[in-house]
């Protein structure tokens, strides 16, 4: 294992007792949680500060560069928590755009933090007007992505935006495709829930001279109607956003969690097949996973891909 701090490999100088790396498919930042034995007060001498860069590597796995977000010290111990987003990105801001395309907004926000931008399968929609009102940049961009059925992931100083339905349809990697019940190392759980699951979404908006309403109905779900009010430019946009918003809730209808032996080849945002667990067998999307590099465990959080939207 390598632990890299502000670009320097410090592995030989520290004694980690906990190394946990969280990989998110999107919507939340990735994270690193480290704890060290520090009876000699080495970290106090180094004086780490929030915003310092942290990275973990092991056997081809790379957490990517993250930013120290929390510092802890106890009796003979020292801890760090780092996120894939920098401290300054948490500041709420307000900004407006007119006659702007999706990629212009994403490019501006990525550039503000010196991040690269990578996109997969998106449409560069044109908007009459977009307003960011007292929201942090990445929270705002993640919401704009959800309207379009996209997902925002921040990883290794890169803003990644991909079309979620397309990614969910990707075939599982043949080398990692199947997890059987015998490979689950501990308790697993699958849930088919109804809370915050909707059968229909209606988007209502008002332009300068017109009232607009759009909607989308989930063919396979009987549930309440979600109603959202926002500025929309036209009915097609309202219909599209209703579809995206409905997906953002309903994609968590069927979820599962399972621990397995450490396997850093698995990654969030990919698909796998689960077998021999009973009525919840089938293909799942890896919503997030946590690698415990000290105890050699990986915990998968899965969700069933949506059909039709």
Q: Are 199 and 222 in contact (CB under 8 A)?
A: yes
| CA–CA gap between residue 97 and residue 129 (Å, rounded) | 6
Model's pTM, two decimal places?
Answer: 0.95
H-type alpha helices, 16-88: 42-46
Quickly state the pLDDT bin for 176 (edges 50, 70, 90): confident
Quickly state the pLDDT bin for 113 (edges 50, 70, 90): very high
- 66: which strand partners? 54
Residue with tokens 């926000």: 109
Quickly state the pLDDT bin for 210 (edges 50, 70, 90): confident
Which CATH number is associated with domain 169-193+253-303?
Answer: 2.40.30.150
Specify the length of the chain in residues.
Answer: 309
Residue with tokens 């007792």: 17
Residue with tokens 């009102």: 133
CA 261 to chain centre: 23
Over pLDDT 70: what percentage of the chain?
100
Q: Over the stretch 114-154, which tens digit does the pLDDT of each residue have?
A: 999 999 999 999 999 999 999 999 999 999 999 999 999 99
What separation, in Å, do the N-terminal and C-terminal C-alpha atoms of the chain show? 41
pLDDT score of 243 more than 90:
yes
The reply to whether CATH 3.10.310.30 applies to domain 88-166 is: no
Q: Which of 29, 129, 13, 163 is nearest to 89 (CA)?
A: 29
């Amino acid at each position: 294992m390598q632990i890299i701090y502000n670009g320097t490999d410090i592995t030989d100088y520290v004694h980690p007792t906990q190394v946990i790396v969280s990989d998110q498919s999107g919507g939340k930042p990735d994270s690193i949680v480290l704890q060290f034995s520090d009876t000699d007060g080495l970290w106090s001498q180094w004086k780490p500060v929030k915003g310092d860069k942290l990275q973990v590597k092991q056997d081809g796995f790379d957490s990517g560069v993250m930013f120290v977000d929390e510092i802890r010290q106890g009796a003979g111990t020292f801890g760090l928590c780092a996120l894939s987003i920098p401290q300054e990105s948490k500041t709420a801001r307000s900004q407006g755009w007119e006659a702007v395309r999706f990629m212009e907004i994403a490019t501006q926000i990525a550039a503000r933090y010196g991040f690269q931008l990578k996109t997969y399968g998106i449409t560069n929609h044109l908007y009459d007007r977009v307003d960011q009102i007292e929201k942090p940049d990445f929270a705002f961009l993640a919401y704009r992505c959800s309207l379009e059925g996209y997902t925002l992931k921040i990883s290794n100083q890169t803003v990644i935006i991909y079309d979620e339905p397309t990614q969910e349809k990707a075939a599982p990697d043949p080398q990692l495709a199947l997890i059987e019940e015998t490979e689950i190392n501990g308790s697993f759980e699958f849930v088919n829930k109804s809370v915050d699951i909707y059968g229909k979404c209606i988007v209502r908006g008002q332009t300068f001279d017109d009232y607009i309403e759009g909607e989308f109905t989930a063919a396979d779900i009987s549930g309440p109607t979600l109603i959202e009010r926002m500025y929309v430019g036209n009915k097609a946009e309202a219909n599209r956003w209703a579809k995206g918003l409905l997906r953002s809730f309903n994609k968590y209808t069927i979820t599962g969690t399972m621990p397995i032996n450490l396997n850093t080849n698995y990654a969030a945002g990919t698909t796998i097949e689960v077998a021999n667990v009973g009525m919840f067998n089938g293909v799942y999307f890896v919503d997030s996973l946590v690698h415990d590099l000290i105890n050699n465990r990986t915990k998968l959080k899965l969700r069933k891909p949506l059909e039709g939207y």
